[in-house]
């Protein structure tokens, strides 16, 4: 589909794309799921999970069905992903600020002003000291696990499950003689399980953007 044949954006879509435009020199286009994986640098499982989000799912141009792939508007999908990640980071920052305020209040420190949300240098130092003490005590109790270790362990387990489910349709075809629509149902069921599992993994460990080498 050429640029001249692309549909016009709605007002809401146009505002989102204006906020998060494609990188300079990248043309807009309608792409399939495999192409979108490459363009956004994510896996097909992640895209499937985004499509199944209960609120604000990944927008698409054409739904996939009966062997036909989903089609996406590249600029809109890119802007949606950037907006989603910005919202996640904003929510995390708000949560971090709230928990920091609580920690300082329990220590008897000053609270940040409601307007600026910034802590004094004294309170920042107190918070760092508290965090250092907490980590030392947790290590002594063997309660501290590095984020990378947790993430690697979960990813290894998920990879084993994914490989098993990927091979399941072929195995059932050989051993039970499944074919045609029955085999397609099995493949869709495996895809659904993988998508749900990927979403849960993302909820637990994220996608690695928040990791700074710290422990959990």
Measure the CA–CA gap between 93 and 108, rounded to whole angstroms.
22
Helices 121-140 and 74-107 cross at an angle (nearest 10°) of 90
pLDDT value of residue 116? 46
Which region holds residue 34: left if phi is over 0, alpha if psi is between -120 and 50, else beta?
alpha
pTM: 0.50
Fold (topology level) of 3-82: Arc Repressor Mutant, subunit A (1.10.10)
The predicted pLDDT at position 61 comes to 95
What local confidence, expressed as pLDDT, does residue 130 receive? 77
Task: Say if CB 110 and CB 120 are below 8 A apart.
Answer: yes
Report the distance separating Cα 134 and Cα 126, nearest Å: 12
Pair 60, 71: CB distance under 8 Å: yes
Mean pLDDT, the chain cut into blocks of 10 residues (216 residues total): 75 96 95 95 93 93 86 97 93 82 65 52 74 71 62 76 80 79 81 80 60 49
Residue 215 bridge partners (DSSP): 146
Phi and psi angles of residue 97, each rounded to the nearest 5 degrees, phi first: -65, -40
- Residue 71 phi/psi, 5-degree rounding, is -120, 140
Predicted confidence at residue 212, as pLDDT, reads 47
Which pLDDT does position 145 carry in this prediction?
Answer: 61
CB 72 within 8 A of CB 30: yes
Structural domain spans, the chain? 3-82, 147-205
Q: What is the pLDDT of residue 167?
A: 81
| Residue 20 CA neighbour count, 13 Å, CB half | 17
């Amino acid at each position: 589909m050429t640029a001249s044949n692309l549909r016009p954006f709605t007002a809401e879509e146009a505002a989102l794309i204006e906020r998060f435009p494609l990188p300079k020199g990248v043309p807009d286009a309608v792409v399939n799921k495999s192409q979108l994986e490459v363009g956004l640098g994510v896996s097909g499982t992640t895209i499937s999970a985004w499509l199944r989000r209960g609120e604000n799912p990944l927008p698409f141009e054409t739904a996939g069905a009966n062997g036909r792939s989903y089609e996406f508007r590249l600029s809109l999908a890119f802007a949606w992903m950037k907006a989603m990640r910005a919202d996640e980071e904003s929510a995390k920052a708000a949560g971090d600020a709230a928990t920091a305020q609580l920690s300082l209040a329990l220590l008897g420190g000053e609270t940040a002003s409601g307007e600026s949300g910034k802590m004094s240098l004294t309170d920042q130092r107190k918070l760092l000291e508290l965090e250092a003490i907490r980590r030392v005590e947790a290590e002594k109790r063997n309660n501290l696990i590095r984020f990378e270790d947790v993430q690697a362990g979960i990813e290894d387990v998920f990879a084993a499950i994914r490989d098993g489910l990927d091979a399941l349709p072929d195995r059932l075809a050989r051993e039970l003689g499944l074919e045609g629509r029955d085999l397609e149902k099995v493949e869709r069921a495996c895809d659904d399980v993988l998508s749900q599992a990927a979403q849960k993994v993302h909820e637990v460990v994220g996608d690695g953007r928040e990791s700074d080498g710290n422990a959990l």
